[in-house]
Structure 1
């Protein structure tokens, strides 16, 4: 990445901006950039967050953007320019790193190895005295000397996290600085990096549990709740580069403040980190929530402002409201792929995203619903993680993250979803036959239909129940659709009420989603409860099934009939026995809300 054409032994700039422009021109003249003005803007934006001027006369300005054609490093020397360095001294050795938006793991590793050599005093001295471009290349291509532990092993275990906004230089230099100093001091240390290729060398719950203390050298937000109850020293990332010994010694001496978790307790956090499942699941749910809310509200508004028509359901004919409905449906269509994609990304970092998104789309196609999307996400993530672990020739490493991993992972996920799709189709046909054999209008049939509607909310079981009720309307038996119309709205209304009754049981995002879910329930959009079911399926799904089942039974006993293939209070104008319809919804929703909050209370205890 550092070639002869990217080296300028005598920089003429006298100010920081002039040096940046000069190095950008070197990269551009060497063919590394697509748009030099855009790249310069990104580099300056990075400098605005904190100067990349280190100590000992070194500065490492850098940027990661689509304006870069290929990864490259420009090197330049000057007599000294004020670069707002840590030690206040002028910078003389400049390394400008240009990374493309899709920089691979191997690119970043190569860049980090190059910049980490600058921690060596001998290397810096040689660079200052080199006479030719070839000498510069030879110095930087020399193998770095292995640091030998010359100290007796000391008691204590230090864990650390390093992270900078761009994640292609300081993150890895800080990690190397801490690890090298730990070896010199005879201290056992593990450092997690949060770089542009994701989290590497991730700290486990066991690492954190046995750590004497934690060093967090970061200039961006990282997951801090996992350190609840531990003594933590928080510093800018450059502090770990310039003073690793001081940080390690302070940690071993018990300095630092005990970190207090912003969530509901250290015990649960450690459990979640240990299993990993909850963390991955919540990553998918948190990214899915905005789609559920915006899509649900758009659909709800379009239907509410248009109305329901007997025999056909939602009657959206106005062009504007139809466009609003289509926009909401499009957002809902992305819901499962996003859930699946970000579950996979949490497991395998960026290489997991593509197979996860495709797996979620296939879950939509085969009608597997959000449960199928969760299966696809975990399958894609662990497959991608497995492929990432392959030992491949050096020549293949650059294309692993952008070609091999996505292609192999997506193909295998496709095979899995294909084998899931066929059984789902047969299962739906079997369920339909079973329902046809039951007595229309019976309490038992209503109970079964109510539980089916709320089990997977838009998935195959839900669809069988809904289509069965819709078919019965055309046969002149609307009393089957009545209990279904009640069951349709209870999951979102129930979860909306639950978040209002016990807000401490839910995260801020979930409380906001609860308000949207309540509104969606009024319009008969069962999917409003999906984020809650995906985040906590073993408590939410049983609760909404019980509530929907009871509501459907009350509707059946009250001879409630619905003449439109839709549900929720919005169908009230085409419902027979309106009072029992409302009572069934209220009772079922309250049962769901109370039950889920009781179960969540037990979970806390």
Structure 2
């Protein structure tokens, strides 16, 4: 596909009327809309402005490339505009922009479209090409300049890699992956070639990772340049000198970056201890916790949204608001309960299983994971409602993920002619079928185990319940949103799904304490916290009130030795008191929003939270040292 297949005469403005950045954006968008390339002009403008908010697309040297990839685009297109006088577009070099290429990529843009758009970005790095566009006097001349450039580009022979004494690697990427990614890559490669330096550049664009750096290349590299404004897999560079800069630096300062890399003027990257390396992300055989958390994090919106809607249904309707035979029946409450319980909550386990499976086997694992998760909650022991619940969902997710990998491996023996139907036909049929059969066989015994575990927990004596409340409350404060916190929270959700309301009450109380405690401590012990910490403490009051435990993380990160033990003790106290007072809660999230849904005495529940908060706040205040003066 050629650039002129996306740039037509009805999307060219030889001389722009606009004088400001905002007006030129509107003028270009209007041209696209008039040409019938957009589904929704306003939504497209929002996407353009969102990209501009991340970093200006006025790249300097008289060029601006505002761009967006969104479903508001009906047909992938380019609109060109030119301003002879120039427009202040907040360019990176501070100079006016004269050439404007607005790129509109649809959400489902195919690889050919994306490659064409990225090729335009590369061409604009050529000074002669830009000069010709600036001097063009008609639509036809603009088309000829672009077509000539594409013809010249296609006739160029692959250049021999320069042999130098050093090997430098680079990675480029921007949020939309259409323009800056490839412009930075070209600038770095061309500059390195002129300097006689070995250079390979990996691009992280809309079409995925191209020219991926291999483990062998990384091992032999002297340094790595990362010019990106988006997330890049970095753990693979552990032990190497890594320069990390915005993508714009790759476009405007390639020589300086390469010189820094040659001198190894960069710290040695230590890694971030995450599991986003190649072996975990691309082979799907490691990273158990990563796969589990992928399922849990994607399940949480269903838990939070569904749970609060269920809570609101009782808040509006009182007792038995969803029972048509009750005098308290409330239609609106019944609707909220249907949305939250019969739909959002119903999808929790399938979503959990689906995203665990997709983390393991990528997209082909999602469908078998969802189906297996659905089987887990619908096909159990006769007379047992809910099937094997969360236990079955966890097993279903991992089963579906690894079975899908086996299916993909087994089908590798097929001729290349079958590649086109593997993802749309063969993978789904075999992976869903095999996973479904196994789940139907193992789900009844899993259901027996699950219901037995729930019954055992609910039948525990008061002493054991107090111990469990202490443990669950304390777990919520150990890593405040990390794996230990999520393990306790997931357990509480499972028990809520089984009908036990006490556990989630203890967990929510324990999770509210950390941010409330640090906030209170900054208020009482002012001389022991910095100005920034005291300001953060004010917002922590609100975060704690709404059960956002992560609000205490900045304090814990700054002084873990004193903060974490203080918070764990108070959270454990809150969890224990909640169990002692026999408090239950119908909602899994919300904090003060769901205070009216407390089962038992609400004042005693408040007392448990306040007591835990006071305990942590004062312990923290006593452990912290006064700030040094002067």
So what's the TM-score if we normalise by structure 2?
0.60
- Give 1:486 shift: 6.0
Quick one: structure 1 residues 494 and 416, their matched pair in 2 at CA, closer, same or farther if it must change by over 3 Å?
A: farther
CA distance in 2, matches of 1:405, 1:47: 39
Out of 8, 11, 16, the position equivalent to 1:6 is 11
Out of 142, 146, 153, the position equivalent to 2:164 is 153
- What does the per-residue CA deviation read over 1:378-410, in whole Å, with 9 as the maximum and x for residues that have no partner? 55589789999x9999xxx9xx8xxx77633xx
1:461 aligns with 2:471: no
Q: Which has the higher contact order (CA 8 A, sep 6+)?
A: 1
CA distance in 2, matches of 1:111, 1:32: 15
Out of 427, 431, 445, the position equivalent to 1:412 is 427
Out of 482, 489, 496, the position equivalent to 1:516 is 489
1:128 partner SS: helix
CA distance in 1, matches of 2:367, 2:49: 37
1:181 aligns with 2:182: no
- Give 1:418 shift: 1.8
Partner in structure 2 of residue 94 of structure 1: 100
- Give 1:119 shift: 1.4
CA distance in 1, matches of 2:361, 2:122: 26
1:327 aligns with 2:300: no
- What does the per-residue CA deviation read over 1:337-377, in whole Å, with 9 as the maximum and x for residues that have no partner? 4345545665787xx2xx44422221134336332223334
Out of 50, 60, 72, the position equivalent to 2:77 is 72
CA distance in 2, matches of 1:340, 1:523: 18
Task: Confirm or deny: 8 A CA contact 1:61 1:95 kept in the other structure.
Answer: yes
Task: Confirm or deny: 8 A CA contact 2:203 2:209 kept in the other structure.
Answer: yes
1:215 aligns with 2:228: no
- Give 1:78 shift: 1.9
CA distance in 2, matches of 1:188, 1:62: 32
Quick one: structure 1 residues 138 and 525, their matched pair in 2 at CA, closer, same or farther if it must change by over 3 Å?
A: same
CA distance in 2, matches of 1:38, 1:271: 39
Aligned length: 463
Unaligned runs of 5+ in 1: 308-316, 429-458, 470-479, 530-567, 571-605
Partner in structure 2 of residue 112 of structure 1: 118
Out of 400, 418, 421, the position equivalent to 2:436 is 421
- Give 1:54 shift: 1.7
Unaligned runs of 5+ in 2: 1-5, 321-327, 377-391, 505-581, 585-630
- Residues 181-190 or 5-14, more deviating: 181-190
- Give 1:167 shift: 2.2
Partner in structure 2 of residue 27 of structure 1: 32
Partner in structure 1 of residue 299 of structure 2: 288
CA distance in 2, matches of 1:333, 1:52: 44
Partner in structure 2 of residue 16 of structure 1: 21
Task: Confirm or deny: 8 A CA contact 1:10 1:78 kept in the other structure.
Answer: yes
1:366 partner SS: helix
Out of 361, 365, 368, the position equivalent to 1:359 is 368
**RMSD across aligned positions (CA):** 4.8
Within-5 A mapping of 1:194-273: 194-203=204-213, 208-224=218-234, 226-261=236-271, 263=272, 265=273, 272=280
Task: Confirm or deny: 8 A CA contact 1:155 1:187 kept in the other structure.
Answer: yes
- What does the per-residue CA deviation read over 1:442-462, in whole Å, with 9 as the maximum and x for residues that have no partner? xxxxxxxxxxxxxxxxx5432
- Give 1:83 shift: 1.8
Task: Confirm or deny: 8 A CA contact 1:149 1:186 kept in the other structure.
Answer: no
Task: Confirm or deny: 8 A CA contact 1:27 1:33 kept in the other structure.
Answer: yes
1:119 partner SS: coil
- Give 1:183 shift: 4.2
Quick one: structure 1 residues 128 and 340, their matched pair in 2 at CA, closer, same or farther if it must change by over 3 Å?
A: farther
CA distance in 1, matches of 2:20, 2:175: 24
Task: Confirm or deny: 8 A CA contact 1:173 1:241 kept in the other structure.
Answer: yes
Partner in structure 1 of residue 175 of structure 2: 165
CA distance in 2, matches of 1:73, 1:391: 39
- Give 1:111 shift: 0.8
Task: Confirm or deny: 8 A CA contact 1:342 1:377 kept in the other structure.
Answer: no
1:372 aligns with 2:381: no
CA distance in 2, matches of 1:384, 1:124: 47
CA distance in 2, matches of 1:391, 1:251: 44
- What does the per-residue CA deviation read over 1:189-210, in whole Å, with 9 as the maximum and x for residues that have no partner? 4434333344444556655454
- Give 1:35 shift: 2.5
Task: Confirm or deny: 8 A CA contact 1:340 1:378 kept in the other structure.
Answer: no
- Give 1:240 shift: 0.7
CA distance in 1, matches of 2:165, 2:410: 36
Partner in structure 1 of residue 597 of structure 2: none
CA distance in 1, matches of 2:499, 2:225: 45
Partner in structure 2 of residue 135 of structure 1: 144
CA distance in 2, matches of 1:182, 1:232: 17
- Give 1:330 shift: 3.4
Task: Confirm or deny: 8 A CA contact 1:295 1:332 kept in the other structure.
Answer: yes
- Residues 508-517 or 43-52, more deviating: 508-517
1:134 partner SS: helix
CA distance in 2, matches of 1:495, 1:88: 60
CA distance in 2, matches of 1:330, 1:461: 26
CA distance in 1, matches of 2:51, 2:407: 35
- Give 1:92 shift: 1.6
- What does the per-residue CA deviation read over 1:38-81, in whole Å, with 9 as the maximum and x for residues that have no partner? 32333233223322112322111112222211100112222122
- Give 1:274 shift: 8.0
CA distance in 2, matches of 1:337, 1:61: 40
Partner in structure 1 of residue 596 of structure 2: none
- Give 1:112 shift: 0.5
2:347 partner SS: helix
2:169 partner SS: strand
Quick one: structure 1 residues 65 and 198, their matched pair in 2 at CA, closer, same or farther if it must change by over 3 Å?
A: same
CA distance in 1, matches of 2:158, 2:166: 20
- Give 1:336 shift: 4.4
CA distance in 2, matches of 1:299, 1:257: 51
Partner in structure 2 of residue 594 of structure 1: none
